[in-house]
Amino acid sequence: MSWRSAPAAQTGNPTGHRTARRTGQPTGHPAEPPTGHPAEPPTGRRTGRRTGHPTGRRQVLVGTVALAAAALCAACTSSVPASGPAPAVTPAPTSAPSPTAPPEPENPWGPTAAEVALATADAAELSDEEVAGQVIVGRLHGTDPATAEQLVMDLHLAGVMITGASVASLEQVRSLGAGVQDAVAASGRDWPAIVSTDNEGGLVQRMSGAVGPWTSFPSFAVAGEVAAAGEPWLVRDAHTAMARELRASGVTVNWAPVADVTVPGQDVTIGSRAAGSDPATVGAAVVPAVRGLLAGGILPAVKHFPGHGSLTTDSHLALPVHEAGAGHLAATELPPFAEAVEAGVPMVMVAHVDVPAWDPGVPASLSPEAYRVLREELEFAGVTVTDSLGMGALAQIGDPGEVAVAALRAGADLLLNPADNAVAHAGVVAALRDGTLERARVDEAAGRVIAMMRHQSELAEAAGPPGAVGDGAAAAEALVAAAY
């Protein structure tokens, strides 16, 4: 049973149907005020690559088209005799048919289909070492900006993840982000780096008032209460404010919000990180949180697909088993993720959770069936990212290289925080060279990542100057006040 056929009573939707896909506003959720709040992020539609200069295989294609046009022109000229009566000819079409544009996805997620196709062609121009790095977000050790910059340069990484251990001060975080961006620019890439962190609010907030001048935002459970009470715009405003502070710190990606549905008394990992214990409440908070982060110029990722809120084992320590059947998953766990997809979320994080109903004994992050459900049943076209690959749930799978290859083969586009960056990178390169991993699969993954990061730069430009770190205090306080 797919999530579409879930009983309406269990999803909180009395009709059992969703509203128009383009709006992202689920049935039964309070409408947001039309004025006085951040505008929706731009679609990011462009006509082509930023450089405008075809290279390699793309240049061959351009040259071939030009030669064909020249030959056609010569043939037309030579068909006219110098003298005598003109023979009867069939009029030629006035213009050649234009190439068919790739179809747009059912759920737009930022870049257009044409932009993704161009980015995939750009990925195909990269060396094996470069394209392997473009699908990895590296693990940092310590706070040294120079170390982070060298890591990205050496392994051609898409970017890095800033955890609590990598935060010493605002100035240090800014310097680290700038160094990573410098490494990416020096490599010739025309898209920004992924400088990412976990800022959910509450217990999981790497950049908060406890460690620097950042605003401490409340837990996402507070956002759930406010959204369920009919004030989702306060959730959106708080996340826009959070995004602005992150962007002012040099961050481009936030691994939030949490779309899990918690089960109190059973959930050992998520708790107040979730917006609530029913799918309708969680969806009501996730959608404005996604929109708010995008409006502030930051790329969000909903997590932890297909749901971690009912599990009794912490995936940081061991592999949890989600014993629920496909019907329960469709009715209870998946609806918030589906609503985020309809709202235009650019990334979905896939958890290290064994789902016997899909692929017994295999973590969802390494399961082709999990990615199939996400792509085909939820119709998600954006970037799929693994949860951190250094977690205990994967300890019995293999070394970091083997885990990285398994995730990419299953359908992951982005590998987060490998236990060993160099081993993961080398494993992907070796698999490309021996045929274990198809180059087209990695080009597809890297193409989505490249297109997404080009779109992020446009979101940031449209959002305007981020302002000062600490400016989000009023929005955070308004969210808390509305909840209590």
The arithmetic mean of pLDDT across residues 247-262, rounded, is: 98
Q: Is residue 94 part of a domain?
A: no
Please report the pLDDT score of residue 310 as a whole number: 85
Query: Exposed, middle or buried, 96 (CB in 10 Å: 0-12/13-18/19+)?
Result: exposed
Q: What is the pLDDT of residue 98?
A: 52
Residue 114 burial (10 A CB sphere; 0-12, 13-18, 19+): middle
DSSP 260-329: ----TTT-SS-GGGSS-SSHHHHHHHHHHHHHHHHHTT-EEEEEEET--TT-SS-TTTS--B----HHHI
Query: Nearest 10 degrees: CA dihedral of 366, 311, 286, 296?
Result: -60
Of residues 90 and 376, more confidence is placed in 376
Note whether residue 87 is domain-resident. no
CA distance linking residue 285 with residue 255, whole number of Å? 16
32-55 b/e with 16+ CB inside 10 Å = b? Answer: beeeebbeebeebeeeebeeeebe
Give the total number of structural domains in the chain: 1
CATH code assigned at 274: 3.20.20.300
Whether residue 302 contacts residue 355, with contact meaning beta carbons closer than 8 Å, is answered with no
Cα dihedral 199/204/207/210 (nearest 10): 150
**Cα–Cα distance, 70 to 250 (Å, whole number):** 49
pLDDT tops 70 at residue 236: yes
Q: Cα separation of 159 and 453, whole Å?
A: 11
* Residue 67 domain-assigned (yes or no): no
Give the max Cα distance, the chain.
96
Domain of residue 194: give its range: 33-43+105-483
Provide, rounded to the nearest whole percent, the portion of the chain with pLDDT above 70: 80
Region 97-113: mean pLDDT is 86
CA 434 to chain centre: 29
Cis peptide bond upstream of 93, omega within 30: no
352 in catalytic set: no
pLDDT in tens, 157-214: 999 999 999 999 999 999 999 999 999 999 999 999 999 999 999 999 999 999 999 9
Would residue 304 show up in a list of annotated catalytic residues for this protein? no
Q: pLDDT tens, 430-483?
A: 999 999 999 999 999 999 999 999 999 999 999 999 999 999 999 999 999 999
| 403: in domain | yes
Across the range 104-112, mean pLDDT stands at 96
Q: Choosing from 260, 278, 354, 387, which is the catalytic residue?
A: 387
In angstroms, rounded to a whole number, what is the distance separating the alpha carbons of residues 337 and 382? 13
Tens of pLDDT, residues 270-314: 999 999 999 999 999 999 999 999 999 999 999 999 999 888 788
Q: Amino acid identity of 3?
A: W
Percentage of the chain exceeding pLDDT 90: 73
User: Which pLDDT score is estimated for 100?
Assistant: 78
Of 17, 48, 470, 12, nearest to 245 (Cα)?
Answer: 470
**Pick from 411, 424, 419: nearest CA to 389:** 419
What pLDDT, on a 0 to 100 scale, did the predictor assign at position 288? 98
